[in-house]
């Protein structure tokens, strides 16, 4: 089969791969083997095609990998500046700061937690020290939403990220925080997050992603895999603020076992094209997953959101709410599927996509879907796309608030329904500030 | 020049003429009440002054201290010093009263000026205390799930914070029980003074037991047909609106 899209993406990525191979020559054999297999997979898989269902409405020709390269190390001054820009809550359980997939700052867990077996460390260190755990879990969850090729590139080139393992019964209230910075023109990074919460564990992890320079062009392919064991309570929050020239992928898989409770909230602000895939798998009864997402699309930005809620077991709840605010020529695609298998009776599964169009030139596409094989379930899906409420706008104007400011306020208000669910008020405030800062620069 | 001057205002809504050559002068420092039966154009007057897009001014003039209000956008009118207390204030989920007021105050500063947040909160809390509004109010979303009385009190708080030159109160008393009516009236009494003119639009005389007007105007069929002192309101309360209608019919 021939294709108009070149399958070999970029010579600079080729040399990136060669460098990665030589850098990992002392790593455990399985790690080297795994990476080689991922590289091979990356090369052999075709580029997405316009006709692929998983890429419906996406602008395939925006997937341009030319020039993306291995990022350069940055100097001490640059490190210092980015560390300063890495805003942290006052109370944290642990911190990892990476620039260009290199560790620059590491706050380990409290020794008491370490004694209980809590593992929090950079991936590069985990490859050496926690090889068995990593071998079992590293990218072991299926990618089913269309980005198999890019996930494989991540697998091949990924060298940093965070490993967080919370053993049975350990509850940690303070959040773990990881920062991932991309610095330099064409810098490509592959941040990885692996969170394993064993039975009855409780944990919160926050990932921040950003370009150091708002004008640089970056490639970021991040993968985050979450495991919530029986009765575990997991909160995963992320905020991406890549430069507006960047190409970004955030690929998530989540497994929820019996009685697990998972909340995830992802804030998407940056990227010229940002694709997110999120797959929530309900593997046990009485599990509850909440999938929340907020996106501001403006300028020429495109956000491509693909979600899947798979219920293998019954008596569980999955609840998805994706809210997009669109300005200018901003464009979003939400494509979501709820899949309930035969055994998953008494499932409650909900999927909601709300789009707020603030300019007539913006475009929101919604493709909600249900695939239900069980006969005793409660499922709903819905997508709404609307403009600003004229009476609300008038009320703000009538108080002297200029139209542009009124739009911003109404956008913040539109997001508040989701933000108010955040328990940590500092992180909540930080997310609000990130949203505001997007409007200040545009 | 310290007046809100409305001259021969004609307003149509959905192509129906509601205000017909409406004229009124409200001097700063005075409280004028506009009364009249339902459907006579009272609320249309308020909405047209505030610039609601559904209300089309076909001719006439509105001068705020000499400035032409009709040429201004809705938000410009507000910043020029015109305040409208709504009969049915909008609910805005997710926007807290504090943030809403901050944005409104920020809008009144120069482009390079940044609102001093600590001073703002201090002022807001002082005014809330004076108006007997619980400070917790500020973190609630604007009017979201508020009772009728709470909504009206929120309007009064906004008026206090925005310090308008002229305030138009569009049937602020409607739907209020006696306690809420008293609180709202007390608020207006605290705020009124030589720096502000108040136009109190009402269907009932009741609110005038609490707020004493300098003048009472009776509106009928899109214009003022009778003006007088506060005793006119009592007369209306006693006799109803029919005698006015008869008077108008005789002079026509």
SS3 sequence of chain B: CCEEEEEEEEEEECCEEEEEEEEEEEECCCEEEEECCCCCCHHHHHHHHHCCCCEEEEEEEEEECCEEHHHCCHHHHHHHCEEEECCCCCCEEEEEHHHHHHHHHHCCCCCCCCCCHHHHHHHHHHHHHHCCCCHHHHHCEECCCCCHHHHHHHHHHHHHHHCCCEEEEECCCCCCCHHHHHHHHHHHHHHCECCEEEEEEECCCHHHHCCCCCEEEEEECCEEEEEECCHHHHHHHHHCCHHHHHHHHHHC
So what's the pLDDT on residue A66?
87
Tokens of A5: 């899209």
Number of domains chain A is built from: 1
Query: Is residue A5 in some structural domain?
Result: no
Instruction: Average the pLDDT over A192-219 and give the result.
Output: 97
Inter-chain CB proximity B100 and A405 less than 8 Å: no
Element (H, E) at A154: helix A148-157
User: Looking at beta carbons, which residues of chain B come within 8 Å of A390?
Assistant: 53
pLDDT tens digits for range A185-201: 999 999 999 999 999 99
Whether B115 contacts chain A with CB within 8 A: no
How many angstroms separate the Cα of A343 from the Cα of each of A258, A336, B175? 14, 21, 55
Q: How confident is the model at residue A141 (pLDDT cuts 50, 70, 90)?
A: confident
**Distance of residue B156 Cα from the nearest chain A Cα, in angstroms:** 12
Q: How crowded is residue B90: how many other Cβ atoms within 10 Å of its Cβ?
A: 18
Whole-angstrom distance, CA of residue A343 vs CA of residue A285: 11
Q: Which of A173, A152, A204, A202 is nearest to A39 (CA)?
A: A152
SS3 A278: strand
Instruction: Give tens-digit pLDDT for B132-163.
Output: 889 999 999 999 999 988 999 999 999 999 99
Contact A397 B75 (CB under 8 A): yes
Q: Do A397 and B158 touch (CB under 8 A)?
A: no
Whether residue A358 has pLDDT greater than 70: yes
Question: In Å, how far from its chain's centre is CA A113?
Answer: 27
**CB of B145 less than 8 A from some CB of A:** no
Give the confidence band of A9 by pLDDT, cuts at 50, 70, 90.
low
Q: What's the distance, CA A81 to chain centroid?
A: 25
DSSP bridge partners of A369: A337
B238 CB burial (10 A radius; 0-12, 13-18, 19+): exposed
**Percent of chain A with pLDDT strictly greater than 70:** 98
B residues 22..51 contacting A (CB < 8 A): 50-51
Q: Nearest chain A Cα to B91, which residue?
A: A392
Hey, what are A100's tokens? Answer: 């260009």
**Residue contact B73–A395, C-beta within 8 A:** no
Domain extent for B85: 3-251
Domain enclosing residue A66, as ranges: 11-441
Are the Cβ atoms of B73 and A397 closer than 8 angstroms? yes
Q: Is residue A386 part of a domain?
A: yes
A413 and B86: CB-CB below 8 Å? Answer: no
Under DSSP, is residue A226 helix (H, G, I), strand (E, B) or coil?
strand
Predicted-complex ipTM score? 0.95
Q: Is position A6 within any domain?
A: no
Does A230 or A142 have the greater pLDDT score? A230
**Using CB atoms, which residue from A390, A395, A415 is nearest to B92?**
A395
State whether residue A85 sits within 8 Å of chain B by CB. no
**Residues of A in Cβ contact (< 8 Å) with B107:** 400-402, 405
Alpha carbons within 13 A on the beta-carbon side of B63:
13
Torsion-angle region of B41 (φ positive above 0: left; ψ -120 to 50: alpha; else: beta): left
Q: Which residue out of B79, B81, B94 would a mutagenesis test of the A interface target, given it has the greatest number of A Cβ atoms within 10 Å?
A: B94
How much is the average pLDDT of A103-108? 97
pLDDT at B183 (0 to 100): 84
Residue A410 touches chain B, beta carbons under 8 Å:
yes
CA end-to-end distance (rounded Å), chain B? 33
Task: Check whether A301 has a pLDDT greater than 50.
Answer: yes
Token duo for residue A40: 């091979």
Write out the H or E segment, with its range, that includes residue A156: helix A148-157
CB contact under 8 A, A402 and B50: no
Distance, in Å, from the CA atom of B117 to the CA atom of B103, rounded to the nearest integer, reads: 11
Residue A103 in any domain: the answer is yes
**Are the C-beta atoms of residues A370 and A381 closer than 8 Å to each other?**
yes
Using an 8 Å CB-CB cutoff, list chain A residues near B142. Answer: 395
Q: Average the pLDDT over B213-226 and give the result.
A: 94
Q: Do A274 and A242 form a contact (C-beta atoms < 8 A)?
A: yes
Compute the average pLDDT of residues A212-235: 97
Average pLDDT of chain A? 94
pLDDT average, residue stretch B82-103:
95
Distance CA A304, CA A387 (A): 20
Closest-CA residue to A165 (of A138, A194, A141): A194
Residues 6+ apart with CB under 8 A from B97: B137, B138, B139, B140, B141, B142, B154, B157
Range in A273-277, A294-298, B204-208 the model is least confident about: B204-208
Q: Which residues 341-400 of A have a C-beta within 8 angstroms of B?
A: 389-392, 394-400
Q: Find the mean pLDDT for residues A138-143.
A: 87
Q: How far apart are the C-alpha atoms of B92 and B95, rounded to whole Å?
A: 6
Best CA proximity match to A398, nearest among B191, B124, B155: B155
Judge whether residue A6 has pLDDT over 50.
no
Inform me whether the pLDDT recorded for A306 exceeds 80. Answer: yes
d(CA A293, CA A419): 10
Q: Do A395 and B95 touch (CB under 8 A)?
A: no
Chain B: residue nearest A414 by CA? B94
The 3-state DSSP composition of chain A as helix, strand, coil percent (nearest 5) reads: 25, 40, 35
> How far is A410 from chain B, CA to nearest CA, in Å?
7
Distance CA A386, CA A354 (A): 8
Q: Which chain A residues are closer than 8 Å to B108 by Cβ?
A: 400
A417: closest CA of chain B, how far (Å) = 6
Q: How many structural domains compose chain B?
A: 1
**Please, what is the Cα angle at B98 between B49 and A433, to 5 degrees?**
115
Residue of A nearest to B95 (CA): A413
According to DSSP, the β-strands at B215-220 and B197-202 are: unpaired
User: Do A410 and B104 make contact, defined as CB atoms within 8 angstroms?
Assistant: no
* CA of B251 vs chain A CAs: smallest distance (Å): 38
pLDDT digits (tens, 9 = 90+) for A163-187: 999 999 999 999 999 999 999 999 9
What is the CATH classification number for the domain harbouring B133? 3.40.50.300
| Gap between the Cα atoms of A259 and A407, Å rounded | 41
pLDDT in tens, A239-282: 999 999 999 999 999 999 999 999 999 999 999 999 999 999 99
Position A8 scores a pLDDT of 53
- Is pLDDT of B13 > 50? yes
């Amino acid at each position: 089969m021939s294709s108009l899209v070149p399958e070999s993406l970029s010579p600079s990525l080729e040399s990136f791969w060669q460098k990665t191979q030589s850098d990992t020559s002392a790593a455990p054999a399985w790690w080297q083997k795994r990476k080689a297999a991922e590289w091979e997979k990356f090369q052999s898989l075709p580029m997405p095609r316009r006709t692929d269902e998983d890429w419906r409405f996406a602008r395939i020709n925006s997937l341009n990998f030319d020039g993306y390269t291995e990022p350069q190390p940055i100097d001490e001054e640059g490190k210092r500046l980015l560390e300063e820009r890495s805003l942290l809550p006052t109370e944290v359980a642990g911190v990892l700061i990476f620039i260009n997939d290199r560790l620059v700052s590491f706050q380990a867990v409290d020794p008491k937690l370490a004694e209980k077996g809590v593992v929090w460390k950079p991936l590069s260190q985990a490859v050496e020290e926690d090889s068995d755990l990593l071998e079992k879990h590293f990218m072991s969850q299926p990618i089913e939403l269309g980005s198999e090729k890019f996930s494989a590139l991540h697998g091949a080139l990924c060298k940093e990220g965070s490993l967080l393992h919370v053993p049975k019964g350990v509850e940690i209230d303070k959040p773990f925080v990881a920062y991932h910075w991309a610095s330099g023109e064409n810098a490509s990074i592959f941040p990885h997050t692996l969170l394993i919460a064993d039975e009855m564990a409780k944990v919160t992890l926050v990932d921040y992603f950003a370009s150091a320079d708002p004008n640089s062009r970056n490639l970021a392919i991040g993968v985050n895999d979450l495991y919530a064991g029986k009765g575990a309570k997991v909160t995963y929050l992320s905020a991406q603020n890549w430069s507006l020239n960047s190409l970004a992928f955030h690929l998530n898989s989540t497994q929820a076992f019996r009685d697990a409770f998972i909340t995830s909230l992802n804030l998407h602000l940056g990227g010229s094209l940002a694709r997110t895939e999120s797959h929530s798998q309900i593997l046990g009864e009485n599990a509850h997953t909440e999938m929340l997402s907020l996106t501001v699309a403006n300028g020429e930005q495109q956000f491509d959101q693909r979600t899947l809620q798979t219920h293998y077991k019954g008596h569980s709840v999955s609840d998805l709410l994706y809210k997009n605010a669109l300005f200018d020529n901003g464009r979003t695609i939400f494509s979501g599927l709820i899949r309930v298998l035969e055994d998953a009776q008494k499932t409650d599964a909900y999927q909601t996509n709300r789009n707020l169009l603030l300019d007539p030139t913006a475009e929101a596409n919604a493709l909600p879907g249900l695939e239900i094989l069980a006969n005793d379930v409660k499922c709903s899906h819905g997508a709404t796309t609307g403009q600003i409420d004229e009476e609300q706008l008038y009320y703000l104007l009538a108080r002297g608030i200029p139209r542009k400011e009124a739009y911003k306020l109404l956008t913040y208000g539109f997001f508040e329904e989701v933000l108010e669910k955040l328990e940590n008020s500092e992180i909540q405030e930080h997310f609000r500030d990130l949203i505001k800062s997007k409007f200040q620069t545009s | 020049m310290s007046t809100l001057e409305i001259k021969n205002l004609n307003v149509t809504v959905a192509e129906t003429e509601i205000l017909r050559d409406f004229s009124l002068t409200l001097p700063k420092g005075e409280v004028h009440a506009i009364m009249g039966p339902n459907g006579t154009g009272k609320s249309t007057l308020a909405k047209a002054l505030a610039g609601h897009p559904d209300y089309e001014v076909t001719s006439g003039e509105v001068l705020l201290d000499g400035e032409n209000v009709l040429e201004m956008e809705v938000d410009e009118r507000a910043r020029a010093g015109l305040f409208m207390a709504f009969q049915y204030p909008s609910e805005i989920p997710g926007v807290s009263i504090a943030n809403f007021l901050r944005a409104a105050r920020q809008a009144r500063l120069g482009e390079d000026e940044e609102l001093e947040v600590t001073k703002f909160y201090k002022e807001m809390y002082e005014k809330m205390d004076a108006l007997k509004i619980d400070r917790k109010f500020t973190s609630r979303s604007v009017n979201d799930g508020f009772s009728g009385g709470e909504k009206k009190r929120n309007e009064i708080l906004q008026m206090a914070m925005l310090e308008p030159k002229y305030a138009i109160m569009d049937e602020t008393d409607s739907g209020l029980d006696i306690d809420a009516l008293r609180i709202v009236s007390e608020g207006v009494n605290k705020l009124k003074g030589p720096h502000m003119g108040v136009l109190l639009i009402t269907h009932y005389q009741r609110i005038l037991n609490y707020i004493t007007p300098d003048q009472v105007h009776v509106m009928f069929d899109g214009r003022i047909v009778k003006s007088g002192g506060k005793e006119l309101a009592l007369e209306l309360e006693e006799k109803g609106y029919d005698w006015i209608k008869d008077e108008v019919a005789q002079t026509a």
